[in-house]
Structure 1
Amino acid sequence: MDFDFETLAADDRYKLLTSTIVPRPIAWVTTRAKNGARNAAPFSFFNAMGKDPALLAVGIMTDGDGSMKDTARNILDTGEFVVNLVPRVAAEAMNLTSVDAPPNVDELALAELETVPSLKVNPERVAISPVSFECRLHTPLIFSNQLLAIGEVVQAHIADEAMLDPAKFYVDTAKLNLISRLHGRGLYGTAETAFQMQRPRAYDALEKEKARD
């Protein structure tokens, strides 16, 4: 079936996007307000966007009343945030931080999460997360109070036990046991069904084409 996104209601577009673009990694974003108040919230409109500079993009939709979320406001006000990735063991805590809470509520304290000071930005890291990226806001794009925050990674933290060869920057990705967002209400997944294929080389592809001729 075909769907005209220029005429569909926003909620209907959301259903189609989140039911088809799966799995989506989860950015468990920690920020601080201008007054120092801590905030944590998960977002699954997220991914890496480049290496030079190293960029991450996080899409932060509006609250139910159409206002800007605390995470978005904090990022715009301070220019800093941390993206923590979510291991399976932290799924319940991550879900708890998604609560629609007033700005003065500390979701990290609410979920009883330990934190670790960051090295280059003010917001803390989530201690239980095996991967955290300290980010400075590179480019903000605002659409009707919806923020697309493009952040430059200035410091990365990866659990020691997940590093296969630090000198070569090899990571045991499976050991991270990260979860992702799937379709439907409250559905998550892991990488347990992963499979591997080797990327073809251009030369090999040309040789096969010649053989067919």
Structure 2
Amino acid sequence: MFYEAETNKHGLKHDPFKALVVPRPIGWISTLDLNGVSNLAPYSFFNAVSTDPHIVMFSSAGRKDSQRNAEETGEFVCNLAGWEQREKMNMSSSTVGPEVDEFVLSGLATEPSRMVKPLRVEGAPAHLECVYLKTIELVGRDGRHSYDMVLGEVVGIHIDDRFIADGMVDSAAMKPVSRLGYMDYAVVDEIFTMKRPR
């Protein structure tokens, strides 16, 4: 099949775009508002975009609490969700007001960060402490704008020692949760290696 993405007339039950660009890692973003209230939300439009410096991004439709808090306080944490956190990660995606602490709502314990103020999800396989860099409005050719991309520089990295083996991160053991299309998720638990040609 073929369809023009701009008109999006594909004839399927749901937009297939998000089911094609998969799997997408989940950035479980924790922030604090100016009053010190914690916010926690999972973003499937999330990824690392640079290693020198270490930069990550998250993006969503509409200006949500995570974006506002990161912009106003200059900090956020990306908690990486593993298999053991999948249910609580999903619970933290509830649509609630900015006064609601999703750590409490989801029954999650917290850990302090070292270089930024937002709390970390206790038990997550890894955490990336970030300093906010900037927000980029994602504007289409026709001028439509509904998504913003938030960029942050990673200033501190926590890795659960259980997931380090032979001097390397054991990604399969972490079982990171990723988003597929629709309401579908996947977990990475099998890995293969290919060496680049010379």
Matched, 1:126 2:121: yes
Q: Which has the larger radius of gyration?
A: 1
Gap regions ≥5 residues in structure 2:
139-144
CA deviation string 1:10-59 (max 9, x = no partner): xx9x9232110111100000001111111000000011111111110111
Partner AA of 1:199 in structure 2: R
Matched AA of 1:158: I
User: Which residue number in structure 1 is paired with residue 186 of structure 2?
Assistant: 189
1:21 paired with 2:16, answer no
The structure where strand makes up a greater share of residues is: 2
1:198 aligns with 2:195: yes
Extract unaligned runs of 5+ from structure 1: 63-67, 202-213
Structure 1 CA distance for aligned equivalents of residues 57 and 86 of structure 2: 22
| Structure 1 stretches of at least 4 aligned residues deviating more than 4 Å after TM superposition | none
- The structure whose residues are more often helix, as a share, is 1
How many residue pairs get matched? 189
Q: Counterparts in 2 of 1:1-213, with a 5 A limit?
A: 1-8=1-8, 15-62=15-62, 68-143=63-138, 144=145, 146-166=147-167, 170-185=168-183, 187-201=184-198
What do residues 138-165 of structure 1 show as CA deviations (whole Å, max 9, x unaligned)? 2211344632011100000000111124
Shift in Å, 1:193: 4.4
Q: TM-score, normalised by structure 1?
A: 0.83
Aligned residue number for residue 141 of structure 2: none
RMSD across aligned C-alpha pairs, in angstroms? 1.8
Q: Aligned to 2:70, what secondary structure does the other structure show? A: helix
CA distance in 1, matches of 2:190, 2:125: 21
Q: Tell me the equivalent position of 1:208.
A: none
Partners of 2:38 and 2:90 in 1: CA distance: 17
3-state secondary structure, aligned to 2:68: helix
